[in-house]
A and B are shown apart, each in its own frame.
Chain A
Amino acid sequence: MSDVMIDARDLTKHYGRVAALRNASFQVNRGEVVGFLGPNGAGKTTTMKILTCFIAPSGGTAQVGGVDIFDDPLAVRELIGYLPESTPLYTEMLVLEYLQFAGKMRGLRGAGLEARLRQVVEETSLGEVLGKSIGELSKGFRQRVGLAQALIHEPPVLILDEPMSGLDPNQASEIRELIRDIGRERTVILSTHNLAEVRLTCGRVLIISQGQLVADDTPDELAARAGKPRFIATVKQNGHSSSEIREVFSLIGDAASVKEQSGGAPGELKVEVVPEGNQDLRAEIFRAAVSAELVLLGLEQRGENLEDIFRQLTTGNGGASS
């Protein structure tokens, strides 16, 4: 096996007259965690279903671990651990029963199965619910069962469709840790709508829109493309006029522009400060407010603007609104 674990070439999929995917080509290497990003209906799930050989593309093909999805779907599926969207599980089964079933379907038996079970149960913190039936579980726990079955056979490739949905923040950070860990040696593709998630978990982002791949970059590069960060300061007015307050912040050396923003509560003023370059102005803004005896109620960084680039790339009109 070479280092290219997933090699999709010109994948196209038509559902009747709907083109769900159009000429999508990308590669994912061993040791990568790639985030699949796109608005609803962009074709993320469709791509994953094709890679797992659940559906066949109308055009193009893909190789997983060097095996073509048309030549040997069974061998491809053996290489993949898959978490489908919305985690469809047999709700009448007990968690342990289900994981045993998944392990057996993956060819695990006896002591080997036991050992793997113990490990995935620990990784996904399922210990306390092993004896419960899946139908009784909360969404987050169900999600973890879905992850556990995807991990059970230590697949070299993990394909996870919205793995973080429904997880509480603690669990999400544990799973994130787990995914990053797995991604060091193996290959992970995950889809999400959460841009912050991508920054935290993925080394690379594929953005897909209306069935077409519109970006393939690291999160940082994408953010850089999006342009400058912005800082929003919320200040108590205390009788100062808007222009007086803006004056205070425009004295900051690296501030390129200072604008009043709508949406402040009564008696409060929101000011947007944009730096000349990519500087972090939060400390300067704080100091300027203090020296002018302004009460700073809030300071946030509308930072990396991944949202903006996402919007620009995935809306037809170029996202002129931002």
Chain B
Amino acid sequence: MRSVLTIAGRQFRSYFNGPVAYIVICIILLTLGFFFWKTFFLFGRASAREMFRWLGLILVFSLPALTMGLLAEEKRTGTIELLITMPVTEAQVIVGKFLGVLGLYGVLLALTISYPLSISTLGDLDWGPVWSGYLALLLQGSAVLAIGLMASSWTSNQLIALFVALTLSVLFWVLDKFLALLPTNAASALQWLSFDYHFQSMARGVIDLRDVLFFVSVVVFALAVAFRALESRRWS
């Protein structure tokens, strides 16, 4: 467990030595602010619904930039060799990496709290949906990050990892947008796999255990695949 935290801590701190994390955080906060204040002034509503709607989408597009290098860059530069030959298991490396980027994401989410806080000073804000919205953000974000880590485990090229992660997470996000074109059975199956379907129901303030479990299983699955990919190096 200590090694996991050491790896996570190193990963987390390394984000602040390069530009990517700052750029991603700035883009997210700025676009969010734009949509957020637009709706606030247009409709004069004190609600965080808008913020969550947009944030869900922005994250799908921006988080893969944080995960692309997690393993790909270590493989390209060879640092993975020193990391793995320390007394750690592949599973500890994967979980450590995941927690490291999750920590950065947590910081990012904490920064967005300023938006609902500022609304609450301007009008009467119902905090219930805000907290469930944050839970939804945390869960969907974790899923996108885990998928990004998985993509990063497949290649030693960051850009390929970015592209694969973007494709996969956008795919999971748009799944429920074309349901009308499909037969009902297929539609409900696809809907169930869609990130946004689970996300929106939580962002409305309804915490359903099934939605939580959905995201958790995506995370577990993606991390397990990344573990296999990292381990397969031994036998190649």
B-contacting 9-mer, from A97-105, A253-261, A277-285, A289-297: A97-105
In residues 74-108 of chain A, which contact B (Cβ within 8 Å)?
A: 74-75, 77-78, 80, 82, 84, 86, 88-93, 97, 101-102, 104-107
Chain A 49-87 interface mask (CB, 8 Å, partner B; 1/0): 100111110000000000000000011011010101010
Question: How many angstroms between the C-alpha atoms of A88 and B236 in the bound complex?
Answer: 21
Q: Are A101 and B14 in contact (CB under 8 A)?
A: no
A52 to chain B, nearest CB (A): 4
Mark interface residues in A30-60 (1 if CB within 8 Å of B CB, else 0).
0000000000000000000100111110000
> Would you give the shortest CB distance from B230 to chain A, in whole angstroms?
11
A84 and B86 contact, Cβ closer than 8 Å, known pairs A101-B6, A105-B3: no
**Chain B interface, number of residues (Cβ within 8 angstroms):** 25
Contact A105 B6 (CB under 8 A): yes
In chain A, what residue has the closest Cβ to B11? Answer: A90
Task: Return chain A residues, CB-CB under 8 Å to B18.
Answer: 92
* CA of A269 to CA of B3, assembled, Å: 66
Interchain CB contact under 8 A, A77 and B87: yes
Residue of A nearest to B17 (CB): A92
Contact among B2, B78, B233, B235 for A86, CB-based, below 8 A: B78
In angstroms, Cα B18 to Cα A53, docked, is 31
In chain B between 77 and 122, which residues have their CB closer than 8 angstroms to a CB of chain A?
77-82, 84-89
- Does A106 lie within 8 Å of B14, measured CB to CB? no
Interface string of B64-82 (1 = CB under 8 A from A): 0000000000000111111
B82 touches A74 (CB 8 A): no
Contact A80 B82 (CB under 8 A): no
Q: Does A192 sit at the interface, judged by CB under 8 A?
A: no
B10 in the interface (beta carbon within 8 A): yes
- For the complex, what is the distance from the CA of A88 to the CA of B80, rounded to whole Å? 8
Instruction: Annotate B1-45 by CB proximity to A: 1 below 8 A, 0 otherwise.
Output: 011001100100110011000000000000000000000000000
Which A residues are closer than 8 A to B by beta carbons?
15, 49, 52-56, 74-75, 77-78, 80, 82, 84, 86, 88-93, 97, 101-102, 104-107, 133, 149
16 A–B contacts, CB within 8 A, in A order: A49-B81, A54-B85, A54-B233, A55-B234, A74-B87, A75-B87, A77-B85, A84-B85, A86-B78, A88-B80, A89-B79, A93-B10, A104-B6, A105-B86, A107-B87, A149-B82
